[in-house]
Amino acid sequence: MELHKYQTKVMDSKARFIGAISGVRGGKTTIGAIWLCNRIYQDYQKGVTGDYLIAAPTSKILDQAALPKFKEIFPKDWGEWREQPKSYFQLKWTKKDPDGKDTGEPCRIFVRSLDDPNAIEGMECLAIWADEVGLMKDQAWINFQSRTSITQGPVLMTGTPYSMNWFYRDVYQSWKDGNKDFDVVQWRSMDNPSFREEEYERAKKTMPKVLFDRTYGGQFTRLEGLVYPEFDEDELLVDPFEIPAVGLVFAGLDFGYNNPNAIVYIWEDPKTKIYYVFREFYQNKVLLKDLAASINHHQPSYVLADTQSAQLIAELRRFHGVRQIREADKVKEAGIERIRNLLIEKRLKFFRNRTQNLVEEFKTYHYQAPKADGTSSEKIVDKHNHALDALRYAFSRPLQGLYVNRVKRDFKSILKRRGERLTPSDPLTGY
């Protein structure tokens, strides 16, 4: 297979961490598969044996892009593909111990979707190819480094620059700053000789520039039309501290299953009236007892949850002892405005490294692209917003509206113990 010049640059890179950033159909997935096969062959020639990893942000992307391309490139006489429950390629050769003796343990190429970034915990890899990394969470990047920390193996990260996330901050910027551990090769869709020029020009004429530059130009651009443009990492992220015994602790809950269940825990400083989101729970395919265990661990005074899941709310109350859970007010526009005002007032802050998914969602949650006539769309792209929904639910009801019936006595008792108030402090936000 003949490579174009940017793919060749990826193959020639000697950096530990390599970013291959291109527009769509630029050939980045192809070069990822070729690069990993080449790396495996080089290791084999040197007598270095061990495990490797292919990763993608979701099962869908893995099954539709990275895995089929790797199967196409992978030499059939190297080994075989093993299916579920834990899919991997088993290589024909086996691992050797530090003295060069054969251990009989198979060498594998693990294949994982990182819906849960911790799905690769415990691996030790000689090299990693991560495809579409722009859609992966911060924790994935941390885990890539951990999984190659002993071997000092290289990590190739291929993708389109979907947002100004960790891929931009920790990889692209490190390369721009001259860190020799990092290398970035960047190219347009048009730089792939197989990409048709007329398609490139058509997209250029019809798409908003910021989206075109990102999608076809392979450039990092700050997304226009963010729902929360007031969110500023530099001002609103704070180093974690121990939550004092005084001050209101409450939470918001967005139910999921295949999508993540998201809980955000918030503490109000009774002196400054600043709210700190100090912890998040963000995990799919968990049981109600797991949600209850998280809530009972943090002991919020109340939890406001998605009203579409009334049955789940009832089960948490009845069978899992989460008496303080209530239905949230789901009026989206009012909830968004309330969060925006708290951000503007600098009264909503977030613990660094403990609210990663929530922070990433703030940076990508956006309105649909402008209409053909140039007018702005008021419809939100309803994706990757589970933690944000939980946050909106948490602030969805003014405080004095929460304490009713039998729960009223429970809440008042909790509030009295903690020295907290029942009335809101801000007529604009209700908090």
Total count of domains within the chain:
2
Q: Which of 321-335, 365-379, 405-419 has the lowest mean pLDDT?
A: 405-419
The pLDDT, as a whole number, for residue 414 is: 45
Q: Are residues 21 and 141 in the same domain?
A: yes
Mean pLDDT of 356-369: 83
Question: In terms of pLDDT, which residue wins out, 120 or 415?
Answer: 120
CB atoms within 10 A of CB 209: 11
Identify the pLDDT of residue 42: 96
In a domain, 23, yes or no: yes
* Average pLDDT of the chain to the nearest whole number: 87
For residue 1, pLDDT beyond 80: no
For residue 384, give the DSSP letter: S
Predicted local distance difference test score (pLDDT) of residue 429: 56
- Whether residue 286 is found in the same domain as residue 178: no
Domain residues for 377? Answer: 233-418
CATH of the domain at 384: 3.30.420.280
Final residue before a domain boundary, out of 164, 185, 215? 215
Domain presence at residue 30: yes
What is the DSSP annotation of 110-175? EEEE-SSGGGGTT--EEEEEEESGGGS-HHHHHHHHHHTTTTT--EEEEE---SSSHIIIIIIHHH
Residues 142 and 278 in one domain: no
Residue 255 covered by a domain: yes
Burial profile 77-97: b = 16 or more Cβ within 10 angstroms, e = fewer: ebbeeeeeeebbbebeeebbe
Nearest to 301 by CA among 162, 412, 218, 154: 412
Question: Residue 232: which pLDDT band, with cuts at 50, 70 and 90?
Answer: confident
Decide if pLDDT at 398 tops 70.
Answer: no
Query: Per residue in 2-32, pLDDT tens?
Result: 899 999 999 999 999 999 999 999 999 999 9
Give domain status of residue 148, yes or no.
yes
Look at residue 195 and tell me whether its pLDDT is greater than 50. yes
pLDDT category at 233 given cuts 50, 70, 90 is confident
Percent of the chain with pLDDT over 70: 88
Q: How many helices (H) and strands (E) does the chain have?
A: 16, 15
pLDDT tens per residue across span 35-76: 999 999 999 999 999 999 999 998 888 998 999 999 999 999
CATH number of the CATH domain containing 104? 3.40.50.300
Residue 25 lies in a domain: yes
Q: Are residues 108 and 52 in the same domain?
A: yes
Inside any domain, residue 58: yes
Q: Are residues 117 and 189 in the same domain?
A: yes
**413 has pLDDT over 50:** no
Q: Are 196 and 251 part of one and the same domain?
A: no
For the segment 257-283, the average pLDDT, to the nearest whole number, is 94
Same domain, 246 and 197: no
Q: Are residues 202 and 285 in the same domain?
A: no
Cβ–Cβ under 8 Å, residues 345 and 274:
no
Q: What CA–CA distance (Å, rounded) separates 314 from 295?
A: 15
Q: Is the same domain home to 238 and 210?
A: no
- Position 210 scores a pLDDT of 73
Residue 431 in domain: no
> Cβ(173)–Cβ(181) under 8 Å?
no
Instruction: Give residue 227's pLDDT.
Output: 87
Asked if residue 35 is part of any domain, the answer here is yes
Co-location of 402 and 269 in the same domain: yes
**140 plus 262 within the same structural domain:** no
- Average pLDDT, integer, range 185-200: 93
Whether 180 and 309 map to the same domain: the answer is no
The reported pLDDT for the residue numbered 408 is 37
Q: Which of 155, 188, 215 is the last residue of a domain?
A: 215
- pLDDT exceeds cutoff 70 at 417: no
> Which of 186, 215, 244 is the C-terminal boundary of a domain?
215
Q: What's the CA gap between 53 and 71, in Å, rounded? A: 14
User: 81: which strand partners?
Assistant: 89
Residue 407 reports pLDDT greater than 80: no
Query: pTM value?
Result: 0.61
